Structure 1
């Protein structure tokens, strides 16, 4: 097969997949399955081998991520239900003062976006943010956009949200490295986006119903700040600690011990167990031990299966030489390899509206191409995360949740949410490029 033929088949399959998701509204799981089958047929994989390749790619991809995504979903559910998210925001506002409230909102959202989906962070905190906007006489276009973009960035770059976990598995990057370098990229990206949000002065009043249900009045019912933060940071500390201890004391008892408790599975399980302190006496109830877990399983199922389907797509790319063809083109034209994951993730995100899908699918596509692109797996992952932040707009549920609950119209939403997310993506892409070309990663 010629290079032109191979690349043409790949391009047609990707365009068709995006069309099915964004125009036909076919679920991403089925769209990816059709794409994998079509790619296999187009690249002349024997008919009798198609199912085996799909199953192999699916199974090998989810074996490392399925349980971790489930545990991350459970942890996020506990933080939602117990008021830990609202406690963190209230405490951060007290720390920075009312004159710098927007920075408190951005920082709180950044932290909460680690275990909780960005849409959910907005739903949880919009009453608190609305009251703060009224107290400080600031616009909801500014506060609402800052609330969303902080969680959006971390959900693309820092585990245990599904996007970066799946990308880490597909690209074979240790989660400890993703946590460290994802944070390095995420923090300045959020700060740049929040700085832009702080310049938005167009008057948008908060919704009346959120002012009536002032969550600050219920602050005495919220958990302590240390209890709220501990379940978030314990897994991160254990995962990073595992890497550090194994580097300092290889093959020792403590290194072997940390190899387990610092594994993503054990670390997140520890965070889930610790989060029970937030539930008080309710921890023994069926609501906590069964109903919250069942709800979390439903939320985790989609990203797990999407990740597996992405792995099936990647398996065809690996087995049929697509990666070699793309790598040779990049090498011959001197096109910067680092731009490939950024551009692909941005296109998938802009067209489908899902940053998680942008991160996962792009990681699956570029994983077999890394040698030809001349970038490390970690650089590719960060590029996927940064690209998948570009221009959040009207085809995204997160856009509509933020715009509607913040009392914005579409034009204001584009000015606030779309531009701030694009700024975050560009800053993330620039930082990733600097880290790559300087040889740091």
Structure 2
């Protein structure tokens, strides 16, 4: 029992230090790792060695993937590719299903672009569509926000799923995480869209801080936004840096199946190399370079790399500290104790979901929630029957479902959605926070149903 009380105290420390003391999650997780080492009475001379090994181990592979994914996202964001993606979806779907259109746009854009940035980029487009289709701004805002949130939480190369996959030993199985994650993300995006439809015909005068006419008057800014990007990239140029790496990673995963479905010759060698996430994202980065359009492309590319490194740095540090925390926990008897206790309860995938949801709701960061929870549950997967490859994949997605439950006032994304949509805070809790609760619950139900088939 003392083992569990120490763990609870460590989680409380992480939450309070990041929320009340405003300590950066990197320092909070690192401090928690050191405290855990002493609290669980590991040999003092080994604690720092375990911390360093855990930190370096997770970043040795995942770190490059996170950095490349962030740089690709920066290029897509700055080049206007996100706008092209949105317009392509609108041309395909037309204007008959406004919230569905908005949800799909969010679902696609957030695979490489952070959900916060994606929302800001697409805000003017969302307002323009609401005005053109004569529907509620609130409904369109929630549909966009939940579409973005779904792939941000479930689909690599966004940092949370990648870090969780790394902690759970899935560095070479990201194709499987992507494939199953896209399905779960699609279901949760659809659930968010259905909730958004509740507000489709409601009076925005009662839901927004300012009159809809004033807000929608800003929709003309969308044309100005497009003009600021100059000539927009083609649909192929916009989508290729995202989907070519995903296809390569999935084909690479298929190539290395024990049954050798693609043979063992040149095709196998090529796909087993290009299908590795680092190689696939390097291909994506090369394709993203076709989006460069200044006269001095070398300097433009250099600037994007610098911006990407700056954006990736805190994520890398948090991920590494989470790996250090996980390494310390693996070195203690906690995993065996919790594993045997939880396996007796028979809650399986619900355990990582509940832990991630508690952390997300308490401290606000989806990435921190996924990193911390995956580090916590990694030592006990064998005891709760999830130690197979697919069991680990489903555990990542269960953690993702928890890490989206719920987005409220301590989450920066909540305020991005609220402020850019001009929602009243009470409206945002009813619309956006409730939507993320529904997405999380639908997400874990979907993962559980998949487990009945796949495990």
Q: Which position in structure 2 is the counterpart of 1:214?
A: 222
Given the alignment, which residue of 349, 353, 356 partners 2:367?
A: 356
Contact 2:131 2:216 in 1 (8 A): no
Q: Which position in structure 2 is the counterpart of 1:62?
A: 59
Q: Which position in structure 2 is the counterpart of 1:278?
A: 291
Cα distance in 2, alignment partners of residues 365 and 186 from structure 1: 24
What is the 5 A alignment of 1:397-412?
A: 397-412=412-427
Contact 1:344 1:362 in 2 (8 A): yes
Q: Which position in structure 1 is the counterpart of 2:139?
A: 142
CA-CA distance at 1:17 after TM superposition: 1.0
Given the alignment, which residue of 305, 308, 326 partners 1:293?
A: 305
Cα distance in 2, alignment partners of residues 283 and 72 from structure 1: 23
Q: Which position in structure 2 is the counterpart of 1:254?
A: 267
Cα distance in 2, alignment partners of residues 61 and 239 from structure 1: 19
Cα distance in 1, alignment partners of residues 224 and 93 from structure 2: 17
Q: Which position in structure 1 is the counterpart of 2:19?
A: 22
Q: Which position in structure 1 is the counterpart of 2:322?
A: 310
Q: Which position in structure 2 is the counterpart of 1:413?
A: 428
Per-residue deviation, residues 178-228 of structure 1 (Å, max 9, x unmatched): 010001111011011111101112414263673241337837832111211
Given the alignment, which residue of 68, 72, 78 partners 1:71?
A: 68
Length, aligned pairs only: 435
Q: Does 1:186 align with 2:149?
A: no
Contact 2:67 2:312 in 1 (8 A): yes
Q: Which position in structure 1 is the counterpart of 2:342?
A: 330
DSSP 3-state at the match of 1:344: helix
Q: Does 1:343 align with 2:354?
A: yes
What is the 5 A alignment of 1:225-236?
A: 225-236=235-246
DSSP 3-state at the match of 1:64: helix
Given the alignment, which residue of 132, 142, 163 partners 1:166?
A: 163
DSSP 3-state at the match of 1:213: helix
CA-CA distance at 1:251 after TM superposition: 3.5
CA-CA distance at 1:168 after TM superposition: 1.1
Contact 1:69 1:304 in 2 (8 A): yes
Report the TM-score, using the length of structure 2 for normalisation: 0.92
Farther-moved stretch of structure 1 (297-306 vs 370-379): 370-379
Given the alignment, which residue of 376, 379, 391 partners 1:365?
A: 376
Per-residue deviation, residues 250-307 of structure 1 (Å, max 9, x unmatched): 5433212211111100100111110122223557241x22111101001111111111
Q: Which position in structure 2 is the counterpart of 1:97?
A: 94
Residues 282 and 109 from structure 1, CA distance in 2 versus in 1: closer, same or farther, beyond 3 angstroms?
farther
Contact 1:142 1:198 in 2 (8 A): yes
Q: Which position in structure 2 is the counterpart of 1:153?
A: 150
CA-CA distance at 1:246 after TM superposition: 3.0
Gaps of 5+ in 1: none
CA-CA distance at 1:421 after TM superposition: 1.2
Q: CA RMSD in A?
A: 1.6
What is the 5 A alignment of 1:355-394?
A: 355-375=366-386, 376-394=391-409
Farther-moved stretch of structure 1 (193-202 vs 246-255): 246-255
Cα distance in 2, alignment partners of residues 255 and 319 from structure 1: 38
